[in-house]
Copies of this chain bind each other. A is one copy, B any other.
């Protein structure tokens, strides 16, 4: 049977079960009072970048998506190890731009390049490993949600709509929420956190499965990006498209006001006992579907 029959999330489930790995944005190594948090994201020319994207944007993106995982655990970025596969016809000037994009993203959000690998491949392939740290009592896991918690997202949703306007800076110069993640971690209010790389719907389903809870999300509370608002169905972009790299998190409702004053975060709903994931639209309940971007599936 081929991978396309099961899709990325089943593949990951198969591997994580075999090795007893908890499903979270980052892996952990225990170091005294701290966790080292480690994440690897592979980025591939043909599936991640639209035609016309610039090397600088690609380099920035490869670093930023890893930082987004570090941010979702409340982490402080430390170091990067970067493996780059490129065709032999790739231009040296393009590689330099790619590296500049990586460097600028690190300068903006933290961490240093300490090593890596370069190999010859048919298409540009970047595998970035980011290592960060977080005091153990500030670590924000995916699992820990309480019924009745408020559900929040940082920033706004549906930014992938910019793809259709050919605005690749908006699409690829992702702003990882390191500052917001650190702030949330220090409050110790957060009961779960993950980043939105696969889209809001998919992320809610993942949190639902791990925490054995459901969600009631209010359509009119969704912070829609200006890019999404230019489209016919902005809410579809907010729910079912990847590329937002915002933080999705839960916390006791009464703490919400405190964090809203300090970071750009919006309440979008509540945690419910019933394992359904509902969208409330004009007072009517609808099911949010379990779909979003998934590799290996059409």
Q: Which residues of A contact B (CB under 8 A)?
A: 1-6, 8, 11-12, 14-15, 18-19, 21, 26-29, 31, 36, 38-44, 46-47, 78-79, 81-93, 95-96, 99, 103, 112-123, 125, 127, 129, 131, 295-297
Contacts and interface: CB of A to CB of B under 8 A. Distances in A.
13 contacts: A3-B89, A5-B92, A8-B119, A27-B79, A28-B114, A40-B82, A42-B118, A44-B119, A47-B120, A81-B129, A83-B127, A122-B122, A129-B129
A89 B4 contact: yes
B117 A1 contact: no
A115 B39 contact: yes
Contacts of A122: 46, 122-123
A200 to B, nearest CB: 20
Contacts of A90: 2-3
Contacts of A116: 15, 40
B127 A40 contact: yes
Given A31-B31, A79-B29, A38 B115 contact: yes
A296 B44 contact: no
Contacts of A83: 40-42, 127
Contact of A115 (B26, B85, B93, B115): B26
B2 A85 contact: no
